[in-house]
Amino acid sequence: MEKLIRVIARNLIFVLRGKGLGLIDKLRLKLNGRYTPMSVKLFGSKLLLSDAASFVAMYEELFIKNIYAFNSDKKDPLIIDCGANIGLGIASYKRVYPSARVIAFEPDNGIFEMLKSNVEAAGYSHVEIVKKAIWISNEPLKFVSDGGLSGRLDEGALGEKVITVEAQRLKEILNQPVDLLKIDIEGAEHAVIKDCADSLGQVKLLFVEYHSDINEPQQLQDILEIITKAGFRYHIQEAYVNQQPFLGIKPMLHMDLQLNIFAYRSN
């Protein structure tokens, strides 16, 4: 049955696929195994992806829920994207603001090559992609590459998935007004935001994905205090939660909680 479905998908893909993610591509994504590179056609251009499940989750967040949607009186808002992955965030910004200026950081070697290919295939202008991890210094770091959304900095990590990556201190580039700062860096967000505390006045809108490592103290309260002192109000949405935590915590990878924090200025 699965083979028949694959045959049907191959024969109908060019007929039924639209400019967005078509039904046939959705079927292909469901059939594809975890961490298996593939491509789909998205908004008229070829998009490379490393993991079907990660892509589906990102697609739903960014193009169904439109979680990064924001208003700007500029045609070319400046967006700093920390943790760009394969570039779906860039696609979401560019659909609304084609002239947006984007500086995007992605340290994972394989993911970065997909990001580069996807930006080029879409023909985006004013996009600078940087193969570095966002951190509190510019020193090389150990990075665990998982092939999907959850690659992370981990100085104590060992194994074949551990690579050394270059780093960029975020504070050094917050020297100009930023319309949107997106930080999705798999647990490094607390250290980075703490380091940037006195530079957040340059930022108009701030998105942070908070990751609670089950083996580390929770730092949510400190992050919220820092962004409040920087003049932001905030709104929080669930990204990953345990539905019945009193009956036991089931971590996703090494995280027992993930939250999307949207910080904005009231004036």
Q: Looking at per-residue confidence, does 249 or 158 come out higher?
A: 249
CA-CA distance, 188 to 90, in Å (whole number)? Answer: 21
Going from the C-alpha of 233 to that of each of 32, 98, 158, 238, the distances in angstroms are: 41, 28, 39, 17
Domains and CATH numbers, the chain: 1-62 (no CATH), 67-264 (3.40.50.150)
| pLDDT tens-digit readout, 104-143 | 999 999 999 999 999 999 999 999 999 999 999 999 998 8
pLDDT tens per residue across span 15-57: 333 456 677 777 788 788 788 889 999 999 999 999 988 898 8
pLDDT surpassing 70 at residue 160 = no
- Residue 29 tokens, joined: 């994504």
Tell me the whole-structure pTM to 2 decimals.
0.88
Give whole-number Cα distances, 225 to 154, 194, 205, 240, in Å: 25, 10, 16, 22
> Taking a C-beta distance cutoff of 8 angstroms, is the pair 79, 30 a contact?
no
Neighbours of 214 (CB within 10 A): 13
Q: What pLDDT, on a 0 to 100 scale, did the predictor assign at position 19?
A: 54
Per-chain mean pLDDT for the chain: 88
If you average pLDDT over residues 88-98, what whole number do you get? 97
Query: At a CB cut-off of 8 Å and minimum separation 6, what does 101 contact?
Result: 76, 77, 78, 79, 126, 127
Give 64-73 pLDDT, tens digit per residue.
999 999 999 9
